[in-house]
Amino acid sequence: MTAWRLLWVDDEIELLRPHVLFLESKGYAVRTITNGEDAAVLVEQEPFDLILLDEHMPGWGGLRTLEEIKRRRPNVPVVMVTKSEEEHLMEAAIGAQISDYLIKPVNPNQLLLVCKRLLERHRLAQEQIAQSYRQEFTELAMAIESASSFAQWVDIYQRLVRRDLELERGDPTVQQILQEQHAEANRAFGRFIERHYPQWVQADPEERPPLSPDVFRRWVFPLMGQGRPVVVLVIDCLRYDQWLVFEALLQTYFTIQRELYLAILPTATPYARNALFAGLFPADIERRFPGFWQSAEEDEWSQNRHEDRLLGDQLQRLRIGARFRYEKVLSSAEGKALLGRMSGLLQVDLSAIVVNFVDILAHSRSESSLLRELVPDERAYRELVRTWLEHSWLFDLLRRLSESRAIVVITTDHGAIRALRDTKVIGDRDTSTSLRYKYGRNLKCDPRHAILVKDPLLYRLPRRGINTNYILAKEDYYFVYPTQYHRYQQQYYDTFQHGGVSLEEMLLPVAVLQPRG
């Protein structure tokens, strides 16, 4: 491994020779120079990994030298070393983008610590994280094998996602081990859901995990009646790992309380989001509002055109007298227009806003080879979502809301999983076209790869006619018909899909944000 190259700029460098020798004994290559003018020329000629810079020197002082170095090498870290502890000098140096600040006399171990922190922090942190995960691996494996409750699965999933975020740029071998353990978790989770889900959807809300119909009743309505407007943002298809990176951006503006709930099946917009707004399961919505599910040919957009009506009905059913408004944002232009109407959100008791960007991104990646190259895996998908959120109208809206009295709730209707394995399905020509779930008559599939729902009412799903079955893909499988099998296998391989049974699709964040100050 090539030694890290340091440049130490100090007019009394000879007095610091023991410190230089100490750093060299630790494997650093140290170049010394006695004035700022020569240092600025040298950094233009040679690359350095870190610069130690004296603040008080004849000729160019430390701040002037710092300015010239940054102009030539803006990304090199600079540590200011000075005898002065005056606050204005520290502030000036920090404002000029120094990476650290040391007060003379400098202890050799202080120097070593700052060098390791600035140059080797990532490597050391990744080594520590990898070692920590290796120690946790067996404990997680035992937890996955024995998990028998929703709370245990929430804990397992949170631990897996935390490790994924920590190992994002770490050892590929350890990343592969984590991916395999995550896949094993999804296998066990599919079996767990198949055993328990039919009982949960029939149980009293107090005796089951929180499901899609419970979200408003559990997290939103209790916030109302406090004399403050409540703004609910439903970000379609937002995964828990994506929420965590966005949450980190919002902590400057809000205090955040986060929990996870379980999306209903199928984990698709017509079912999960309608249930969210209605506070009802799809079968109950079908009975209360005949015609909502009229045809297998309807797409997701048309099947969610009644969300404002469903929310109003839920409020009326629960006898909550509240003024509310509903918005659906499908484009950046619509989001910017909403920003211009933001004052209206603060004049009603409840505002519900559906944001479709993440879901559109998932669908667009399935259809675009360019997007697949730009977003090759979950980590790239997460980073693209984070980048959009950070620079979007939505982030602007949240920053403005943080300056108001509004309480913000952010959640989603379902997540998405990277579909990597195909499984054959047999159905007639009227069978629905989704890749992670299907409904139709006399459907057949491999029971190892999917859940077959023979009686929709057991899952509180719409019947859609006589002899309707549903199938729900488990793990990372997607459905392919035997006819033109290889064509569709290749077309949909490695796309982000939703509708089935996986940790990523079903365990979803719901966060309550209170403005700071």
Helices 17-25 + 108-119 axis angle, to 10: 50
Give me the mean pLDDT over the 61-69 stretch: 88
Give the number of domains in the chain: 4
Are 21 and 107 contained in the same domain? yes
Are 74 and 223 contained in the same domain? no
Quick one: what percent of the chain has pLDDT higher than 70?
95
Are 229 and 354 contained in the same domain? yes
Please say if the pLDDT value at position 155 is more than 80.
yes
Cα 305 from chain centroid?
27
Whether residue 138 lies inside any domain: the answer is: yes
In the beta sheet, which residues pair with residue 350?
A: 230, 324
Are 49 and 105 contained in the same domain? yes
Whether residue 434 lies inside any domain: the answer is: yes
What confidence category does residue 164 fall into, taking pLDDT thresholds of 50, 70 and 90? very high
- pLDDT of res. 84: 64
- Cβ atoms of 76 and 102 closer than 8 Å: no
What confidence category does residue 167 fall into, taking pLDDT thresholds of 50, 70 and 90? confident
What confidence category does residue 297 fall into, taking pLDDT thresholds of 50, 70 and 90? very low
478 vs 58: CA distance, rounded Å:
70
pTM exceeds cut of 0.85? no
Are 448 and 364 contained in the same domain? no
What CATH number is given to the structural domain containing 292?
A: 3.40.720.10
Give me the mean pLDDT over the 367-383 stretch: 84
The domain boundary residue, chosen from 81, 96, 119? 119
Please say if the pLDDT value at position 358 is more than 50.
yes
What confidence category does residue 89 fall into, taking pLDDT thresholds of 50, 70 and 90? low
- Cβ atoms of 98 and 63 closer than 8 Å: no
Please say if the pLDDT value at position 296 is more than 50.
no
437-478 tens-digit pLDDT: 999 988 999 999 999 999 999 999 998 777 789 999 999 999
Are 422 and 411 contained in the same domain? no
* Domain assignment of residue 384, given as a range: 210-416+505-515
382 vs 30: CA distance, rounded Å:
39
- pLDDT of res. 512: 98
Whether residue 205 lies inside any domain: the answer is: no
- Cβ atoms of 397 and 339 closer than 8 Å: yes
Helices 87-95 + 62-72 axis angle, to 10: 10
Stronger pLDDT, 268 or 300, i.e. the higher one: 268
CB atoms within 10 A of CB 269: 24
Are 362 and 407 contained in the same domain? yes
Whether residue 192 lies inside any domain: the answer is: yes
Whether residue 243 lies inside any domain: the answer is: yes
- pLDDT of res. 117: 86
Are 167 and 268 contained in the same domain? no
Are 18 and 96 contained in the same domain? yes
- Residue-averaged pLDDT of the chain: 90
Give me the mean pLDDT over the 156-170 stretch: 90
Are 97 and 152 contained in the same domain? no
- pLDDT of res. 336: 94
Are 423 and 363 contained in the same domain? no
- Cβ atoms of 42 and 54 closer than 8 Å: no
Are 254 and 383 contained in the same domain? yes
